[in-house]
Structure 1
Amino acid sequence: MRRIYLDYNASTPIASRVAEVMRRMMGEACGNPSSAHWAGRPARAAVETARSQVATLLGCKPAEIIFTSGGSESNNLALKGLFFARRREHPHIVTTQVEHPAIVEPCRFLERLGARVTWLPVDGSGLLDPEDLRRALTRETLLITVMHANNEVGSIQPIAECAAIAREYGVPFHTDAAQSVGKIPTRVDDLGVDLLSLAGHKFHGPKGIGALYVRGGTPLEPLIHGAPHEGGRRAGTESALLAAALGEACALAIDLAPMHAVKALRDHFRSSLAAALGDRVVFHGHPERNLPNTLSASFLGVTGAEVLAGLEGVAASTGSACHSGRVELSPVLRAMGVSPETGQGTVRFSLGRETTAEEIDTVMQLIAGAPWRRRPSALPTAP
């Protein structure tokens, strides 16, 4: 069976250069990075080299980088760390209705601790209106968190505009950049953010390692207390192996030129689907402010699971689930106002640097011969 991987937004293969660094590190730097002896010094050097590589990618100081176990921990540290460091009598948090669960669930947790959370709406393309953010801010607002780019539909939020509003009101601004690092520019001063989360496995690094950028002077209470690792902001012995791998992945992610080819291939895929299916396919996400690799498409009159069942060997994701005969849309599609009739057939194809034109043509051939295309139930359904 031919295997075609089109789920790069879920995870990416480890790059060969990253794998080579990991192999080398497994035979070296066996000591604890906090140890001053001969075994610990190389491990510490590897960790700090990696910290500098992450900082170079983001355009910040190495001391502003905290290594974590991944995007979820980075998000939790940002939100909970700010909450406890800046706790107020009536704490207020502002976010959007299309955030990743790694933001949604910490916000719900903080609601249980007394926080009031404002969930800002988005338009039909998945974008936030910065003026809605301005209107939501109060004297009690202690943090704002808005994702940089959406993992399902690829829409890129107006982060710089939102961060500028946050600065006017003196509110720390966090962005979850797990989906954008390695695909579009993510320099923190250009974005204007105070905190930024990233996850190594989203841009050809290994799972189990991520980082949180924290602008100097931003208060942050640790989630994990113990020894003074990571500048006292995250206790626990650092993994020189994983840190070095993340650093190398960041060094590779600086070069965004390959994403131009990915975008061209994604655009070709979209136009091919439109030509083949006409009004039987609907695309989601902003047509221009969008990740170069992401294509969210609804196949009308069929469920996403049925579409994927006809794409043998193709790895992709659906945007809805069926429970007891009832279609349940993802919160992102629901917030965008997508109807259940349209959303039930949503499939997210996310391309990567290794995706080829031949693979896209093969997917189109599979779609052309899919059984659901010949069924009466696959007739167009109004969005």
Structure 2
Amino acid sequence: MSINLQLTAVAGLLAVSGISQAALTTTTGPVSFSGSATVSASGTSVLSKTNSNNNASIANVSLGQFNAANGVLTGVDLQLTSNRQQTIDGYGYKNNGPGRDASGSGSSTAAMAAIGAAANFATAITQTGGACSLAHGPTGFTDCSWGPNASTANATNATASVADANLDDYVGNGSVSASLTLPTLSATTTLSRTQGQTSGSTTNYLLEWAGDLQANYSYLLHAAASFDGSSVSNVLTLDFGSITQNSAASLNFGLFNLADANRIGLDLDSVNGSGDTGAFSTDLSLFSGLAQGGSQFFIANLLTANTGTFSAQYLLNLSDEDLGASSTRQNYQLTLNLTGNVVAATAPVPVPGAVWLFGSAMLSMLGVSRRKQLA
């Protein structure tokens, strides 16, 4: 059956109440991690030799997802609090020949990455090693070592915001993974000279990374659709009673998004009618973003051109405003019942002719009686 509703799509935000939206937060809490990666560089009869272990993995951290029962997810921040520690050591050797020194250095960068978010520590941290000396002369095979030398802790802190397009990846009952890696990790070993018989050196560079990572979730409470501004009311029945044919019959009603400063807006998406929808009309209009504490009022009419008893039911399909993670938005349904009885107008009842004759006779008799009294 067709719906005789005068529906007009209303675009834009209906911030009727003027009460601003706040935001709630929940967190996974800090998840600890620690890991390390090494690289070694060795050279034979060369002044310098560099070796890399780029994109070395330090740790994968699992972070609990957001529970959609809490509300509509509007943002995710990944908060990293950590330190990186460098340690370096080395070794040198030679056979007969001039004396020389063996030394080395290491450097690294760091990165944190998760779905839709990243933090890059692109400025390299560097640790320079000590040195050891290999004596001059026909000494035969001789070697030396230096280190280990450790750096002070390098604070590695960041907050990375997840792109809006990826918010749904953080919703569910499972977890999301964040990786901690070293995009560059290299060591360089050096000798001060290479003359003479075979000589060489080795440098070992160790990077340790430890700390905490947590996900901070921002969200708004679900909308609260109602026919009543003070409490949840999902069903409304408007009874027009008995109305005379061809007369006007109208009743007012309202839709509300119950007040809470942390609540998301409300959308009216569609209306489906059944029953005697041709006997009623309304100015009910689709809307979006009805703010918490806001309301929209409408008029329902009983069309009285035809007599009879009429009833119709309208299902109002609503949802959370189109913000944040779509998988966390909920749908709602309100039921509007309209009933009314249109009755024919009552015609005046004609007075029979005999009644008029009787009345005339009575008046005549009263006139005669009055004349006799006067005589």
Both proteins in one fold, TM over 0.5:
no
Q: Which structure carries more helix by proportion?
A: 1
Where relative contact order (Cα < 8 A, 6+ residues apart) is larger, the structure is: 2
Larger radius of gyration between Structure 1 and Structure 2: 2
TM-score grouping bracket, smaller chain normalisation:
under 0.3
Q: Which structure carries more strand by proportion?
A: 2
Query: Structure 1 length normalisation: TM-score?
Result: 0.20
